Amino acid sequence: GYRGTIFLIPAHERMRTPRGIQVFGPQHFGYDLEYVKVEKLNQS
């Protein structure tokens, strides 16, 4: 198996607006996922 490291950085505030999420969010790239802030992911 492959091993890898993933690191996350917060998106710029403009990219977190509804329009920013529409343009840069996962659904724009064909993923059937909702945008979740990295800060929220880090809480789990």
Could you state, in order of their start, the residue ranges of all structural domains in the chain? Answer: 13-43
Q: Which residues contact residue 27 at a Cβ distance below 8 angstroms, ignoring those fewer than 6 apart?
A: 33, 34
* Contact (CB, 8 A) for 8 and 41: yes
pLDDT at 44: 62
Global confidence as pTM: 0.67
pLDDT of res. 41: 83
- For the stretch 8-42, pLDDT in tens is 899 999 999 999 999 999 999 999 999 999 888 87
